[in-house]
Amino acid sequence: MKILFFGDVVGKLGRRALAEILPKYQKKYKPDLIMANGENLAHGVGVTADTLGEVLEAGIDLVTTGNHVFAKSGAEEIFTNFENKIIRPANYPEGLPGRGFATLKINDKRVCVINLNGRVFMRENFEDPFRTFDSVEKLLKIGKSDIVLVDFHAEATSEKSAFGWYVDGRASVVFGTHTHVPTNDIKILPQGTAIVSDVGMVGDRDGVIGVEKEGPLNLFLTQVPTRFEYAEEGTAQINAVIVKVDEKSGRATEIQRADTETKI
């Protein structure tokens, strides 16, 4: 089974770039499942029904998120109307809209997708993502032949790397997200779990992690809060990874980056 995963899709430029590149990637890689992190879909922060619908229409099968998923109003309606198309971190406190996992049937195989948020350098007070994984694993009664995909949304590469070792042999792939900066540490761990500390982003190449550069520069130079803006056209960097997973064992056999740029 081939899984194609795109890093954080940032704003309108990111959504447009994703729609443009997807047909080419589908032809080149022939993935069985296509996912993307969508917590920055709506003008860089949060998700709306329209922006979510746009990437689903483009060909994304499932959208994962992170700590910005509730930044826009209407989250409850989104999780209700797009059930099994979007998930949020499972280690949010109980009682919030949405689910932290999804189960899919692909090629007659059960695919379990789990979304988690890291805690290091995060302002929010999330539950322990390591033990949350254990709880979801028990809840879903995950077996050795199931394919288990984890979006671990976190600031610290060390936390994401440590989590990969924690679930080695229990997860098929750990996709690190959140920083918008692609890492070159893709590998397959001894028990068959593929990991990349951060997939990267789909967004403005010439900004600051997807934000138009003027806002962050002013913030760093003056320490005065500044409104961030997001480009709607320009050159987009597209960061993704493609992973092959053995359907009998649920273990990864190959992982590689799938990065490019496109002018929008």
**Predicted structure pTM score:** 0.97
Neighbour count for residue 90 (Cβ, 10 Å): 22
Please report, as a single letter, which amino acid is at residue 34: I
Nearest to 174 by CA among 165, 106, 18, 142: 165
User: How many domains does the structure of the chain reveal?
Assistant: 1
List, for residues 85-116, the tens digit of each pLDDT value: 999 999 999 999 999 999 999 999 999 999 99
Please tell me the predicted confidence (pLDDT) of residue 207: 97
% of residues, the chain, pLDDT over 90: 95
Task: Specify the CATH number for the domain of residue 107.
Answer: 3.60.21.10
Asked if 43 is an active-site residue, the reply is no
Question: Which phi and psi (to 5°) does residue 164 adopt?
Answer: -55, -45
Of the candidates 43, 68, 178, 180, the residue annotated as catalytic is 68
3-state helix, strand, coil in the chain (%, to 5): 25, 30, 45
List, for residues 30-82, the tens digit of each pLDDT value: 999 999 999 999 999 999 999 999 999 999 999 999 999 999 999 889 999 99
* DSSP H stretches of helix in the chain: 11-29, 49-58, 75-81, 129-140, 157-166, 214-222
Buried b (16+ CB within 10 A) or exposed e, 128-166: ebbebbeebbeeeebeeebbbbbbbbbbbbebbbebbeb
Structural domain of 95:
2-263
Neighbour count for residue 247 (Cβ, 10 Å): 16
